[in-house]
Amino acid sequence: MRVGLLFGSFNPIHIGHLILANYMAANTTLDTVWLVVSPQNPFKPSSSLLHEFDRLHMVRLAIADNADLGVTDIEFRMPKPSYTIDTLTYLREKYPTYQFVLIMGEDNLATLPKWKNYEQILDLYEVLVYPRPGSAKVPEALQGHAKITVVPAPLLDISATFIRKCLKEGKSTRYLLQEEVQEYIQAKKLYM
């Protein structure tokens, strides 16, 4: 089985994540896509980060009706911050018959050379990249890399940062968030 892994903070999960994950499941040779909720990105401040259980719960709500997508909280039980190579190694040991493929947005590809053991990641895994408006240039070392494929998919100018700002300012985030996620955020008054 070929499993795509979309790692993320999902703070909160938005329709950009859902379109991206579903696009990869529908338009590539992947059998399924798992969303891996990261407690702590090594490069991001934790100040605006919602508790990991809330973020996981919202991912579960958002993908509940999509049989092509799954979610894992595997990084909750691993050392923090969350280094992707360590999680990939763990998953490989846990599911030795599965073939894991890394999925990321173009903004993350731009920072990949700064990730822990990034060369090992590229030695061992294929990477599928979803284009993203405003992403920094792909570093030269990665341009045309045999293991990296940028998929031709519709650009989505949506970010969790923008959604958090709207919520803080009391502006509507309707349609930017999946409905149950929207209701959960309103009910718990998150990000406000």
Ligand X SMILES: O=C(O)c1ccc[n+]([C@@H]2O[C@H](COP(=O)([O-])O)[C@@H](O)[C@H]2O)c1
Q: Which stretch binds ligand ATP (CB under 6 A): 2-10, 68-76, 80-88, 167-175?
A: 2-10
16 contributes a contact to ligand ATP by CB under 6 A = yes
Around Cβ 134, how many Cβ atoms within 10 Å? 9
44 contributes a contact to ligand X by CB under 6 A = yes
Cβ atoms of 170 and 176 within 8 Å: the answer is no
Cβ atoms of 192 and 167 within 8 Å: the answer is yes
Contacts (CB under 6 A) with ligand X, residues 76-135 = 82-85, 108, 115-116
Sign of CA dihedral 134, 152, 70, 38: negative
User: Considering beta carbons, is residue 90 or 115 the nearer one to ligand X?
Assistant: 115
Backbone φ and ψ of 14, nearest 5°: -130, 180
9 contributes a contact to ligand ATP by CB under 6 A = yes
43 contributes a contact to ligand X by CB under 6 A = yes
Torsion, Cα of 135, 47, 114, 56 (10° steps): -80
Which of ligand X, ligand ATP, none lies near 51, with the C-beta cut-off 5 to 8 A by kind?
Answer: none
55 contributes a contact to ligand X by CB under 6 A = no
> And the tokens for 129?
């990249």
Backbone φ and ψ of 91, nearest 5°: -65, -35
Of 82, 84, 87, 108, which one interacts with ligand ATP (CB under 6 A)? 108
User: Considering beta carbons, is residue 108 or 182 the nearer one to ligand X?
Assistant: 108
Q: Which residues bind ligand X (CB under 6 A)?
A: 7-9, 38, 41-44, 82-85, 108, 115-116
